[in-house]
Amino acid sequence: MHGYNGKILRVNLTSKAISIENPGEEFYRKYFGGRNLIAYYLLKELEPGIDPLGPKNKLIFATGVLTGGPFAGSARHSIGAKSPLTGYYGDGEAGGSWGWALKKAGFDAIIVEGKAVCPVYLLIDSGEVEIKDAAGLWGKTTGAVQKKLQQHLGTEIHVAQIGPAGENLVKYASIIHDLNHVVGRTGMGAVMGSKNLKAVVVKGGKFPEFHDAEALKKVASYMTSNYKKLAAPVVEFGTLNVLPGLNAGGGLPTRNFQEGAFDGADKISGIALHERFVSGKDGCYRCPIACKRKIARNEDLTLEGEYGGPEYETVAAFGSNCGIDSLPIIIKAHELCNSLGLDTISTGVTISFVLECFERGLLSAANCDGLELQFGNHSILELIPKIAYREGFGNLMAEGSRSLAKHIGNDALAFAVQIKGQEVPLHEPRLKQGLGLGYAVSPTGADHTQNLHDPMYEKEGGPLNQLKALGYYEPLPARELSPRKARLFIYGSAYRYLANCLVTCFFVPWQFNQLSEIVRSMTGWNTTAFELMKIMERSINLTRCFNLREGLEASEDDICSRFAEPFKNGPLAGVNVDPEKLAGSKLAYYRMMGWTDSGIPTPEKLLELGLEWLEPVVRG
């Protein structure tokens, strides 16, 4: 057994029972880890229809077979459970060092069950596990908790924790790792809070041996030598490098996705951030790309610095999409979210929804705690603590934009930019039409990471070359939506769906043959790109089956009405997502996946993937 421990930790917080399971090599080979591991255990062990915030839900922290390896992009892990935000499968991934540290501490995954009577945290030190009292940590911000745990346990620890938002069961609460690496989406922080679990601290141990360390070193050195050439803009400005291009292309979400270009884009760009606020680069274990940024402390702006800098999603969520062109306000919003434990995407897009409701007269200061809210108004910062602590109007916002829209009534739901209950990330399907299909069929609701970013495949070149290794050769226009685009979506999102199982970072542009070589060197398996594609396909079918068992219907594989509206002006004036074309593309996707026209995997498809144990789910 190489590259992983072969040990899964199970902690029942109700009974305080701690056990270790050894699933065996066959399990690891078939599922690899991450999303596949999480979905496997949720399907095997959860009763259908349970309350996501009840003790019967299980929260699973999972590394993958490649997590923690000595190569760029290895420092990621997944956290999953039934989502309180969507009611379906939920998970998210984070980088940093926590996943590597968990594996080094002796475990590939942790399954957390039940609910503690009072607040606790888990301490995992070199294979030893303790459930510790967290009464002194509960209610505190993540920065305060990190300091307190470091004072008590030393600075070598790595901490996954919730903030007050998770404690208060905010439906889009996040899990924060070492203050700046976040599992943000699908409300995993709320699930953690529902279990009275404040933190999981890992330290010590010894990383599992590799099958062929020399071969691993050789393939790893390729990226170390070439990353500046292969990922130049990310190296220079992190994820924020995409903002000028999206704005010029008409796909920068602006004022709650009503527009696609923002007058203040230059003021919130990566260049502006670097000129005024960045004090250095930051990144994940073993990664030379270092896509994160450190922010200088600035007392005049009350910036704290320790939570790092905002990435593209956060800048667009609180910036253009809320009509704000002030980087200090955006950085402060980012810091508040990381200190309180909120997903910046859902928080920002729920706020932008409220702003549009104000604009349309559906809300007023009278029902928003006296706040006069409008696009571009800096008072949005006041909403963030209200959400985290469920104070006043914040209590309604804490349920997410779909729930809030139903509470507001009238036609408010038309302005809630969410899919399956999860707020849409800051990528515009009217610009990237295949992305819209990806949003519709995503197992976790609107998600940009496991998706197609169409402009990358409009012309011959690097991204398309990567797909040629899989047998896809044809460039397509970003604004085409068709069965051909469904095919491109399947191939173009494959690397990203796979990354959620390995668990690796898709910003690091490994070729499929290199990833196969890394798996071979780590584990000793005779893995090929074909096997990697089967791993990817299993993840889509496992999560599909989970959602079907929870009652998902094909009609829910859709996007919100905002994107059927043509832009009124800007570079994409007159452009919308045609619902008929989307429906046709979705049907083509179902059929290409080996599913019925109702989006149900056939028993034969499941058998082909070795998932025949899921047949009872698809037979209803």
Partner 1 sequence: MSIRVRLYLEDFRFSHGQEILVHHMEKQSMAQLLNFLEIPANTVWLITANDQHVDLTYLLQSGDAIALYAPVGGG
Q: Which residues in this chain contact partner 1 in the complex, by CB under 8 A?
A: 228-229, 231-233, 236-237, 239, 241-242, 244-246, 248-249, 251, 269-271, 312, 425, 427, 432, 435, 448-449, 451, 453, 455-463, 506-507, 571
Nearer to partner 1, 58 or 185 (CB): 185
Ordered DSSP codes for 142-178: HHHHHHHHHHHH-TT-EEEE--HHHHTT-TTB-EEET
Cβ burial of 206 (10 Å; 0-12, 13-18, 19+) is exposed
Nearer to partner 1, 57 or 500 (CB): 500
CA–CA distance, 205 with 323 (Å, rounded to integer): 48
Nearer to partner 1, 211 or 274 (CB): 274
Nearer to partner 1, 11 or 502 (CB): 502
The length of the chain, given as a count of residues: 620
Nearer to partner 1, 493 or 521 (CB): 493
CA–CA distance, 194 with 196 (Å, rounded to integer): 6
Distances (CA, A) of 519 to 4, 424, 503: 11, 33, 11
Q: How far is the CB of 454 from partner 1 (least distance, A)?
A: 9
Q: How far is the CB of 233 from partner 1 (least distance, A)?
A: 5
Pull the structure tokens for residue 579: 């619902």
Nearer to partner 1, 352 or 451 (CB): 451
Q: How far is the CB of 568 from partner 1 (least distance, A)?
A: 17
Nearer to partner 1, 237 or 525 (CB): 237
Nearer to partner 1, 239 or 433 (CB): 239
Q: How far is the CB of 236 from partner 1 (least distance, A)?
A: 5
Nearer to partner 1, 571 or 603 (CB): 571
CA–CA distance, 469 with 511 (Å, rounded to integer): 8
Ordered DSSP codes for 274-316: HHHTEEEEE--TT-SS--EEEE--BGGGTB--TT----HHHHH
CA–CA distance, 250 with 149 (Å, rounded to integer): 46
Q: Cis (ω within 30 of 0) for the bond into 503?
A: yes
Closest alpha carbon to 196 in 108, 109, 122, 111 = 122
Q: How far is the CB of 595 from partner 1 (least distance, A)?
A: 26
Nearer to partner 1, 219 or 261 (CB): 261
Closest alpha carbon to 246 in 568, 544, 3, 478 = 478
Q: Which three-class secondary structure state does DSSP give residue 127?
A: coil
Q: How far is the CB of 251 from partner 1 (least distance, A)?
A: 8
Q: How far is the CB of 511 from partner 1 (least distance, A)?
A: 16
Nearer to partner 1, 144 or 248 (CB): 248
Closest alpha carbon to 501 in 66, 46, 23, 3 = 66
Q: How far is the CB of 419 from partner 1 (least distance, A)?
A: 16
Q: How far is the CB of 474 from partner 1 (least distance, A)?
A: 14
Closest alpha carbon to 362 in 414, 323, 400 = 414
Closest alpha carbon to 415 in 407, 405, 403 = 405
Q: How far is the CB of 509 from partner 1 (least distance, A)?
A: 10
Ordered DSSP codes for 4-38: S-S-EEEEETTT--EEEE---HHHHHHH-BHHHHH
Q: How far is the CB of 505 from partner 1 (least distance, A)?
A: 9
Q: How far is the CB of 271 from partner 1 (least distance, A)?
A: 5
Which residue type is seen at 110?
Answer: I
Which residues, in sequence order, are bridge partners of residue 121? Answer: 132, 199
Closest alpha carbon to 163 in 316, 384, 346 = 384
Nearer to partner 1, 114 or 570 (CB): 570
CA–CA distance, 280 with 252 (Å, rounded to integer): 26
